[in-house]
Structure 1
Amino acid sequence: MRFVHGFISFVLWIIAIPLLLVGLARALPFDNLLSLPQLVAFTPWATLATLPLLIVALFSRRWVLTLLLAAALAGFVYWTAPFFVPPETSTAADPADAGTLRVMTVNALYGQADAEIVVDLVESQHVEVLAVQELTPAFEEALADAGLGDLLGHSFTVPAEDSPAGSGLWSSTPLTEEDQLSGTSFAMPSALVAVGGTSVRVTVVHPHPPMPTEIATWRTDLVELTEQVHSDETPQIMAGDFNATYDHASFRDLLGSRFSDATREWGAGPAVTWPEGSPVPALFALDHVVVENDMPVSDVVSMQVPGTDHRALVATVVVE
């Protein structure tokens, strides 16, 4: 009997330790060491796994484990619950209004995404600004052949051959003051878009992924992005594959007190976007539309695009 009791305790602790580590990683004010970026990404899923384990620990009277799991669950709920709280007004804004902007972002996976589907989504979702990451010359040509120019006639692109470093920005209205962030691994083009009577700088975001041996590069890219967007007082929208979830401290540093994550503000739950198109379902919300705090958002949805491992993310941003 003592052996069985000890074995159950052992199993419970083996299951609990990864969940507790995720909670600890999420509580830290930094995420650029060891495997912290990978651990933090599991925060929403750790929330779901912790509750049943807490119940088992409680009813089996393992008090230390119960206390630790209860603390972890409280943290997980505190961090995750805001994603399910809708804004005071949850009425979808009309993309046809002059003061709104319908934004879409998609990572094309080395240009392997289905260009015709991307263009179909632009048309069906009434997209006015499109941000594409991992843009290759061939994919840019495929988008043109699929008729993207007929829908979004203005563009600023920085394609890259056989590399994830390329990005592009398309708009239904003229782009002005085109620019490119400096000091980042991948291209992050930006330009001003006129929305009603307001000029908004839209930036295509794509930092280096936080691979175990390249976490410093990932962190440097996000720091460069953070410093440059916060130094610009122009109203801004950022869209792209941030290679980070809201639970990453580096992403929250980017938001600061100025910006908001559109998915979190819409309150319909985390919009998981990666990995897509594999036996493993999409688990992580890496793709974001980031807006100024005073820009309400609505109708934030993710959508499948064949050929890429990311879901597209679409959002309506109320600028005026």
Structure 2
Amino acid sequence: MTAPPGRLTAAPPPRPPARGRIRGADVARYLAAALFTSFVAVPVLPDLFGLDRRSPFVQLVSMRPWLLVGVLAVVVLLGVVLVFERRVLPFAAGVLAVLVAGAGLVLPRALPDPGAATGDPLRVLAFNAYEGDADADELASVIEEHRPDVVAISESGPRFAEQIAERVEPLGYRVHVTTDDEDDDDVEEVTALVADRLGDVDVRVGDDTTTFPYIEVSGGELGELRFVAFHSVAPVPGSVPDWNDDLALLPRWCSGPTPAVIAGDFNATLDHSALRAGAAGCADAAAQRGAGLIPTWSPSPRVRLFGPQIDHVFATDGITAETFEVHDVAGSDHRAILTTLRLPG
């Protein structure tokens, strides 16, 4: 039935949804996004929360470059969902912030420092012989080809040192081991090779680390420079406090009164705050050359490209890296690292 013209009235506007109900839903969504972001951030950025000096975060952060690949995949997925559902925006924004923060910590290590290195060269090689089971012939071939001035060999006691000595002493190297006890296990010892051209050097064995001793070389053509063959205990569950203590020794060289080069297996990446703190005052040769993401350890040769970089050559300020490269040596789960440093005149 049609209403008379004089009695027509406008339809009342629709009632808006209850404001309290919308606000409550928004709060719940943002809280959920914050929790989700924290769930992503803690394993990727534990050093920002002070967690990366304890298990399991100390192990997780060593794989941060690869974890960020996973975070990127999550960002892409949320971006696709966002096209159809705007309510995932706070989730996408939070995970994107984690990705940006992580990339800001990692990517600079893939960019070489500008400017050319100048000064007298010092070639340094570091290698973990994996309980003395590495192929001594292959390692000797690397040494013969590149003629490093000093070499740090972790997990090398008298047994492996004798094998390598037979091959490199004729090339003009002296071999120094942290012990001469033939019964000692290779895994607990360190060997240093010093080229004869460095002259009459002083060699000191330090045993104030928690597990593995170190070798400090100075004098001769090195002058006041101290070269340290170093090996930290691995941060496996139960040994993380010892690992922290080992890395806490680094300031004696990186913040010491004389220039220093520290080389070896640190069982830590530059994503570990304990290593960054200990090595303050030193620069990492790989990072200086834009090679700071090249893996140096993996549990199997089949996944060699996806491991962390835990072998390093650190040098105090003023000493710069000119080159950095890695070499595979059979029989070890580590790769040998080789760098040419330039010492200030």
- Name the TM-score, length of structure 2 as normaliser: 0.80
Q: 1:144 to 1:24 in 2, by over 3 A?
A: closer
Q: Which residue of 2 aligns with 1:80?
A: 106
Aligned equivalent of 2:228: 203
Q: Which runs of 4+ in 1 moved over 6 A?
A: 15-18
Choose which of 300, 304, 312 in structure 1 pairs with 2:328: 304
Which residue of 30, 39, 42 maps to 1:21? Answer: 42
Q: Secondary structure at the match of 2:303?
A: coil
Cα displacement string for residues 226-263 of structure 1 (whole angstroms, at most 9, x for unaligned residues) = 2432563121000000000000011101121x111111
Give the gaps of 5 or more residues in structure 2. Answer: 1-33, 83-87
8 Å CA contact retained: 2:229, 2:263: yes
CA apart distance, 1:179: 1.8
Change (3 A) 1:115 1:244: same
Residue 191 (str. 1) matches residue 191 (str. 2): no
Q: Give the equivalent residue in structure 1 for 2:293.
A: 270
CA, structure 1 residues 36+227, in 2 after alignment: closer, same or farther (shift >3 Å)?
same
Query: Cα gap change, 1:86/1:179 in structure 2, threshold over 3 Å: closer, same or farther?
Result: same
Offset of residue 108 of structure 1? 0.4
Q: How many residues align?
A: 299
Flag the structure with larger Rg. 2
Q: Could you report, residue by residue, the CA deviation over 1:42-71 in whole angstroms, capped at 9, with x for unpaired residues?
A: 111122222222011122122232122111
Report what 2:150 is aligned to.
Answer: 129
Closer/same/farther in 2, CA of residues 163 and 269 from structure 1, 3 Å limit: closer
CA contact (8 A) 1:271 1:301 kept: no
Taking structure 1 as reference, are residues 90 and 76 closer, same or farther at Cα in structure 2, changes over 3 Å only?
Answer: farther
Q: 1:40 aligns with which of 53, 61, 69?
A: 61
In 2, Cα distance between the equivalents of 1:16 and 1:138? Answer: 51
- Residue in 2 that maps onto 1:178: 203
Structure 1 residue 175 displacement after superposition: 5.3
Could you tell me which of 216, 233, 251 is aligned with 2:241?
216
Task: Measure the CA separation in 1 of the matches of 2:298 and 2:199.
Answer: 34
From the superposition, tell whether residues 152 and 237 of structure 1 become closer, same or farther in structure 2 (CA, over 3 Å).
farther
| Residues 60-119 of structure 1: per-residue CA shift (max 9 Å, x gap) | 12223212211111111111111122222357x7xxx8x111100000011001111111
Shift of 1:169: 1.0
> Percent identity among equivalent residues?
24
TM-score, structure 1 as length reference: 0.86
Gaps in structure 1 of 5+ consecutive residues: 1-12
User: Are the aligned partners of 2:132 and 2:186 in contact in 1 as well (CA < 8 Å)?
Assistant: no
Paired residue type of 1:292: T
d(CA) in 2 for partners of 1:163 and 1:177? 23
Question: What amino acid is the match of 1:148?
Answer: V
SS in 2 for 1:268: coil
Separation in structure 2 between the aligned mates of residue 18 and residue 42 of structure 1, nearest angstrom: 17
1:79-98 aligned at under 5 Å gives the runs 79-89=105-115
Report if the CA contact (8 A) 2:202-2:219 is conserved: no
- 1:292 is displaced (CA, Å) by 1.3
| Equivalent residues of 2:128, 2:336 under 8 A apart | yes
2:190, 2:215 within 8 Å by CA — same for their partners in 1?
yes
In the superposition, relative to structure 1, how do residues 152 and 170 fare at CA in structure 2: closer, same or farther (>3 Å)?
Answer: farther
Structure having the higher helix fraction is: 2
Q: Matched residues in 2 for 1:77 and 1:175: separation?
A: 46
Q: Do residues 69 (structure 1) and 69 (structure 2) align?
A: no
Which amino acid is the alignment partner of residue 167 of structure 1?
Answer: V
Q: Deviations over 1:110-149 (max 9, x none)?
A: 100111111110111221111100012221111122x211
Aligned equivalent of 1:155, options 164, 175, 191: 175
**CA distance 1:18–1:263, shift in 2 (3 Å):** farther
Name the CA distance, whole Å, in 2 between partners of 1:105 and 1:175.
22
Contact 1:129 1:152 in 2 (8 A): no
The 3-state SS of whatever aligns with 1:211 is coil
SS of 2:188's equivalent in the other structure is coil
Q: 1:72 to 1:186 in 2, by over 3 A?
A: same
**How has the CA–CA distance of structure 1 residues 136 and 156 changed in structure 2, closer, same or farther, with 3 Å as cutoff?**
closer
Q: Distance in 2 between matches of 1:287 and 1:131?
A: 11
Q: Answer whether contact 1:31 1:37 (CA < 8 A) is retained.
A: yes
Give the Cα–Cα distance (whole angstroms) in 2 for the partners of residues 255 and 86 of structure 1. 19
Q: What is the DSSP-based 3-state SS (H/G/I as helix, E as strand, rest coil) of the residue aligned with 1:53?
A: helix
2:314 pairs with 1:290:
yes
C-alpha separation between the residues in 1 aligned to 2:123 and 2:104?
Answer: 30
Is the Cα contact below 8 Å between 1:193 and 1:202 reproduced in 2?
A: no
2:108 maps to amino acid: P
